[in-house]
A and B are shown apart, each in its own frame.
With several copies, the nearest count.
Chain A
Amino acid sequence: MGNWPSMAAELPFQEDGTSERASGEPSLVIDVDGYEGPLDLLLDLARRQKVDLSRISILALAEQYLSFIETARALRLELAADYLVMAAWLAYLKSRMLLPEPPKGEEPSAADLATALALRLKRLETIRAAAQRLATRERLGRDVFARGAPEVIASEGRPIWEAELYDLLAAYAQQRQKRIRQPMSVGHRQVLSLVEAREVLARLVGEAGEWTAIDGYLTRYMRSHGLPTETMTATVRASSLSAMLEMVREGVLDLRQDGAFAPLYVRRRSARPPALDL
């Protein structure tokens, strides 16, 4: 036990079960949007431990955070990279805290890392409290008011021209950006639109009473219309496939493929009713 980080030594052993319980906690609301980044989320989780931040269980906190991220990912919530980076770091910290501490090396000990994290959280909480007190002060223009119709006092050294650094920078940045934005011609993207693809296929439907290899048909179409195969094959294929699927759904076409990556065959659906037992 002597190798264990002091932080872990202070922890009661039952902490190990926390992650399961935490994930089942009804109070754990998954709303990443409500958090101002991973540190904010950690601070919120830490507050649920209802102890002074300096006595917080970092191990439990790491597990809660990781389970939060798990849940969020299970719900397929988009997580900003920041949250994942923090999760990776906490997973690392957790493993460091659970494993025997290696002999003293260059790296800070797991206990040091945990203490540093606790201090960071404490600092954020402190500045938050300060921000709150600042916000509740009597503010000019909201709680107290200055003279509505001020008169100009005669005094030497008063600048004739009013200009703030902010105005100067805003003017410069906007002007430079405006000027540098060259007239940009968007390169004409060579695509076969879905509408066009449908027209091509509609023509095919007229011809193909029997199974026809679609690739060959499209190649002939591209050649006859002078479309460059090197740049446009992909778009022609993609749009045609989308259009085909749509037409199959509408009952206009039949589509056949004998195996993965095998050629696709298409034919006009015959007038006979669909062979489905309804």
Chain B
Amino acid sequence: MAWVEAEEDEEGWDADQALARACRIVEALLFASVQPLSAQELAKSVPANVPIERVIAELEQSYAMRGVTLQRVAGGFAFRTAPDLAYLLAPEAEQPRKLSRAALETLAIIAYHQPVTRAEIEEIRGVATAKGTLDILLEAGWLRLRGRRRSPGRPVTFGTTPAFLDHFGLDRIDDLPGLEELKGAGFIEGRLAKDLTVPVPDDDPGLHDDEDPLGDLFTPLDDGDAS
């Protein structure tokens, strides 16, 4: 543990002391939490003069070879067991429900195409979405209802959640596997409905141009005052 070793000169010693303390705090916070914590959240508990990036880097290095490693997931940081030890832990754990092919495909379509409506999912798969498929994914906490597409019927748009990123060990939605290849193959760009390409997935909570804006919450809704 490099950070607790004393340095010769006073100032360096103080800085090292502060870093060591910050490392202990961040370590404790990340150990305590199941969910990833963002740099901002962590920074709140750390002495102001210690940059949080420095603390993270120190911990990442310190845990790199251990049975528990520091991972960047869902835009934050979390301790997770090393993947090579899964064989020891998996038998103990409650196995996550195996995803059916339909559920996995639906999830992938939502992840790569979000925001996407149910009709668009069905258009890509060429088959109606069985009852329960979306239910399973919603129940797992991987999907969220984003908003409504600004088109006739105002269908609900689906997107993925931070829990989805966490489950699949992704830091950001851009880290989805195969995105580069998809881009390279010319399958990214443009809108799904018009042509047959895959848009850049976007789980940004902000609404898209063709999603209904929040607008003024205090404006009466169209359908409401018409009646």
Whether chain B is bound by chain A comes out as: yes
A-B contact count (CB 8 A): 254
Q: Please classify how large the interface on chain A is, using the bins under 10, 10 to 19, 20 to 34, 35 or more.
A: 35 or more
Complex: A80 Cα to B87 Cα, angstroms: 42
Q: Is chain A's interface secondary structure helix, strand, loop, or mixed overall?
A: helix
With a cutoff of 8 Å between Cβ atoms, the chain A residues found around residue B33 in the complex are 147-151, 153
Query: Which A residues are CB-close (under 8 A) to B35?
Result: 148-149
Other-chain contact of B32, A135, A152, A175 (Cβ < 8 Å) = A152
- Chain A CB within 10 A, most for which of B94, B128, B188, B196: B196
Contacts of B12 in A (CB 8 A): none
Q: In the complex, which residues of chain B have a beta carbon less than 8 angstroms from the beta carbon of A256?
A: none
Interface check A82, CB cutoff 8 A: yes
Whether B97 pairs with A168 at a CB distance below 8 angstroms is no
Contact with A along B174-188 (1 / 0, CB 8 A): 001110001001011
Residues of A9-40 contacting chain B, CB below 8 A? 36-40
How does the 8 Å CB contact mask read for A129-153 relative to B, with 1 for contact and 0 for none? 1110111011111111111111111
Contact A131 B90 (CB under 8 A): no
Residues of B within 8 A of A134 (CB): 104, 107-108, 111, 168, 176-177
Selecting from A178-186, A212-220, A231-239, A270-278, the interface stretch reads A178-186
A127 at the interface (CB under 8 A from B): yes
Cα(A262)–Cα(B86), bound, Å: 78
Q: Which residues of A contact B167 (CB under 8 A)?
A: 139-141, 159, 163
Q: Judge whether A171 is part of the interface by a CB distance below 8 angstroms.
A: yes
Q: Mark A29-55, 1 if CB is under 8 A from B, else 0.
A: 000000011111010000000000000
CA distance A134 to B31 in the complex (A): 26
Does B208 sit within 8 A of A, measured CB to CB? no
List B residues 22-71 near A (Cβ within 8 Å): 28-29, 31-35, 37, 41, 44, 71
Which residues does B use to contact A, with CB under 8 Å?
28-29, 31-35, 37, 41, 44, 71, 78-83, 86-99, 101-105, 107-109, 111-112, 124-128, 136, 138-141, 144-145, 166-170, 176-178, 182, 185, 187-190, 193, 195-198
Can you give 25 contacting A-B residue pairs, CB < 8 Å? A36-B102, A40-B126, A86-B126, A120-B196, A123-B124, A124-B124, A130-B182, A144-B83, A146-B32, A147-B32, A147-B33, A147-B34, A150-B34, A153-B33, A153-B37, A160-B96, A160-B140, A163-B103, A165-B168, A168-B104, A168-B107, A168-B111, A169-B108, A174-B187, A175-B105
